[in-house]
Amino acid sequence: MSIDLADPDAVAPGGALEDGYGIFAFEADFASDLRCIPMVVRFKLDRAEIKLSLKQWTKIGQSNRQALAATPCNTLHEVTVYRRTLVGMVERNTPEPIVGLALNAPLSWADPARMPNEVAAQALIAGVNPPTDAQWSNLNTLQRFALVKLARSNHDNHNFAPALREFGIGGFERTSALS
């Protein structure tokens, strides 16, 4: 994604993150204290085209991790500021270089009208029903992103079924109105 700042208030490709999203319940045991990178930050890292190692994440410090989780990253201007801020944090706190992340592939999670095949395939591997088209279309941007990430991941896909359960899809009933 090359950022064209001709319209800095334009929403970045993939759509805006809705306000109020932080740590999902399925990641709370390892991300609530921000020792691991939560999905909301992974989304922003992808958008800023940066691959951040867990070592870099931990070295930047708790207050910087909290700031990165809370900082908006929706408009093209916000993405540019987020990237610049993150690069500065990493350069000040760790000797590891920043690794760019080229996202030339389509943002499969961004289309609420079409669930990616990888999500359906991971549901079958997990032994749960894949989301229906209606369920997929009712998910918000971050939920769709999380399911695609969890479907692709070799080390995190054990959280795929818990994410479906939390989102109330794939044959799981919602456990509360806040889930």
95 and 126 housed in the same domain:
no
Is residue 51 one of the residues assigned to a domain? yes
Is residue 36 one of the residues assigned to a domain? yes
In this predicted model, what pLDDT tens digit does every residue of 28-46 receive, in sequence order?
887 778 889 999 999 999 9
Degrees, nearest 5: CA angle 143-60-54 = 55
What is the percent of the chain where pLDDT is above 70?
81
43 and 87 housed in the same domain:
yes
Higher pLDDT, 86 or 12: 86
Q: In whole angstroms, what is the distance from residue 168 CA to residue 175 CA?
A: 8
Total domains present in the chain: 2
Cβ pair 47, 75 in contact under 8 A: no
128 and 77 housed in the same domain:
no
Alpha-carbon torsion angle 76, 111, 41, 77, nearest 10 = 0
- pLDDT (0 to 100) of residue 110: 87
In this predicted model, what pLDDT tens digit does every residue of 99-144 receive, in sequence order?
887 765 568 888 899 999 999 999 998 888 899 989 999 999 999 9
- pLDDT (0 to 100) of residue 29: 83
The one-character DSSP state at 105 is S
In this predicted model, what pLDDT tens digit does every residue of 137-165 receive, in sequence order?
999 999 999 999 999 866 667 899 999 99
Name the residue range of residue 121's domain: 108-167
- pLDDT (0 to 100) of residue 44: 93
Is residue 73 one of the residues assigned to a domain? yes
Is residue 12 one of the residues assigned to a domain? no
Q: From 41, 68, 100, give the residue that closes a domain.
A: 100
Q: From 81, 100, 119, give the residue that closes a domain.
A: 100
37 and 96 housed in the same domain:
yes
Is residue 130 one of the residues assigned to a domain? yes
- pLDDT (0 to 100) of residue 146: 93
Q: From 43, 76, 100, give the residue that closes a domain.
A: 100
Q: In whole angstroms, what is the distance from residue 110 CA to residue 124 CA?
A: 22
87 and 114 housed in the same domain:
no
If you average pLDDT over every residue of the chain, what do you get? 84
With a cut of 90, say whether residue 173 has pLDDT above it. no
